[in-house]
DNA sequence: TTGCTACAAATAAAAATTATTAATTAGGAG
DNA sequence: CTCCTAATTAATAATTTTTATTTGTAGCAA
């Protein structure tokens, strides 16, 4: 098994179909991708794949908590492989998403914030909107 | 002019139509609302309004920076009147959004994070996902 | 082999959003 | 106050996005 994503899929109880492997590889390569980006790229190696399959698999992978949706203002949701907590720098011009390490300080402050408001904290999402260096 | 939102609209160079006033009043009352919620409520006081009108006005108000989109994972985007920086507690079960005061500490940490990454910081969005007290 | 299951492709259907057009209205000029 | 004009709206229509259904196929188990 050369491809780590095959193991990943199986460890989550999912069959490692070529389509799913392609989808995961694509997201992994891009870091973040929305449905259309994934579809366009996967089509190259798998020309008969249908858009519905991408939707269905993305949904399945999100349900299995293998992928995470990143809802964005003004852009279509992107998806990323779940890994360490991080924050997103989102360019208001081109929509590019860049990950940055999320420090524990922010994490703790967020948990405090939740506790103070009688809210059962599960997950944090810190999105920073601005202009990226290439668009500046 | 009893209604503050009329002045608000004019100060942004928009005509204060009953539809817009209704939409703003609704969002103000609810704090956060998605397109459908707004439509359903505005329809009561304005039964002939069309859904397309709500879409168009929401888009216009967002463009004029009078409203802010709040993109949510798994739920349709909600809209809020732009005011002081705050964070959102988002219930994963019912989708309810609650505002909480955002402390300066988090704000500063986010700006630092941006600067460290050569990113021109504009705006922060801290969304905390979890379970609200009524769903717990 | 035969039957069952999981899966995908292709389609169809539904839901959400945006565009068009003709009629109406808000707000300013006189 | 009344009239005029540009902005706005309702009512579609059209498009886009997302989800569901149908059909076929591959692989496994008995």
d(CA B43, CA A98): 41
**Å between A2 CA and nearest CA of chain B:** 33
- Is the pLDDT at A3 greater than 60? The verdict is yes
Contacts of B132 in chain A (CB under 8 A): 119-120
**Strands A120-131 and B86-91, how do they pair?**
unpaired
pLDDT digits over B97-136, tens only?
A: 999 999 899 999 999 999 999 999 999 999 999 999 999 8
pLDDT of residue B2: 56
pLDDT of residue A28: 92
User: B4-81 with B86-130: one CATH topology?
Assistant: no
d(CA A102, CA B18): 45
Contacts of B103 in chain A (CB under 8 A): 109, 113
Using the CA of B58, give the nucleotide whose C1' is nearest.
Answer: C17
Summary count for chain A: helices (H), strands (E)? 5, 6
Neighbours of B1 (CB within 10 A): 8
**CATH code of domain B4-81:** 1.10.10.10
pLDDT of residue A116: 95
pLDDT of residue B128: 96
pLDDT of residue A1: 44
pLDDT digits over A89-108, tens only?
A: 999 999 999 999 988 999 99
Q: What is the pLDDT along chain B (136 residues), one digit of tens a residue?
A: 457 889 999 999 999 999 999 999 999 999 999 999 999 999 999 999 999 999 999 999 999 999 999 999 999 999 999 988 899 999 999 999 999 999 899 999 999 999 999 999 999 999 999 999 999 8
Using the CA of B9, give the nucleotide whose C1' is nearest.
Answer: C26
**Strands A33-34 and A75-81, how do they pair?**
antiparallel
CA B112 to C1' C15, in angstroms, rounded, equals 42
Question: What is the CA angle A108-A79-A115, rounded to 5?
Answer: 20
Residue ranges per domain, chain A? 4-81, 86-130
d(CA B112, CA A39): 36
Mean predicted lDDT score pLDDT of chain A: 92
> Which chain A residue shows the shortest CA-CA distance from B72?
A71
Give per-residue burial for B74-106: e unless 16+ CB within 10 Å, then b: ebebbbbeeeeeebbbbbbeebbbbebebeeeb
Q: How confident is the model at residue A83 (pLDDT cuts 50, 70, 90)?
A: confident
**Å between B33 CA and nearest CA of chain A:** 15
Inter-chain touch B98–A87, beta carbons under 8 Å: no
d(CA A96, CA A129): 10
d(CA B124, CA A110): 14
Region A14-25 average pLDDT = 92
Region A32-60 average pLDDT = 94
**Å between A131 CA and nearest CA of chain B:** 5
Does residue B19 approach strand D to less than 7 Å at its CB?
yes
Using the CA of A34, give the nucleotide whose C1' is nearest.
Answer: D17
Region A9-15 average pLDDT = 83
The CATH number, out of the four listed (3.30.1490.190, 1.10.3720.10, 3.40.309.10, 3.30.565.10), of the domain defined by the range A86-130: 3.30.1490.190
d(CA B76, CA B93): 14
Q: How confident is the model at residue A12 (pLDDT cuts 50, 70, 90)?
A: confident
With beta carbons less than 8 A apart as the criterion, state whether B67 and A93 touch. no
Task: Name the residue among A24, A31, A27 with its Cα closest to residue A9.
Answer: A24
Taking C1' of D21 and every protein CA, the nearest residue is: A52
């Amino acid at each position: 098994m050369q491809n780590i994503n095959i193991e990943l899929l199986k460890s989550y109880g999912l069959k490692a179909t070529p389509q799913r492997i392609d989808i995961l590889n694509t997201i992994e390569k891009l870091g973040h991708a929305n449905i259309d980006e994934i579809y366009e790229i996967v089509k190259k190696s798998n020309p008969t794949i249908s858009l519905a399959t991408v939707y269905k698999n993305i949904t399945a992978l999100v349900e299995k908590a293998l992928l995470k949706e990143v809802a964005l203002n003004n852009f279509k949701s992107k998806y990323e492989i779940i890994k360490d907590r991080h924050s997103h720098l989102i360019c208001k011009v081109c929509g590019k998403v860049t990950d940055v390490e999320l420090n524990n300080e922010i994490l703790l402050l967020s948990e405090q914030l939740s506790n103070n408001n009688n809210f059962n904290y599960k997950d944090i999402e810190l999105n920073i909107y601005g202009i990226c260096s290439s668009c500046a």
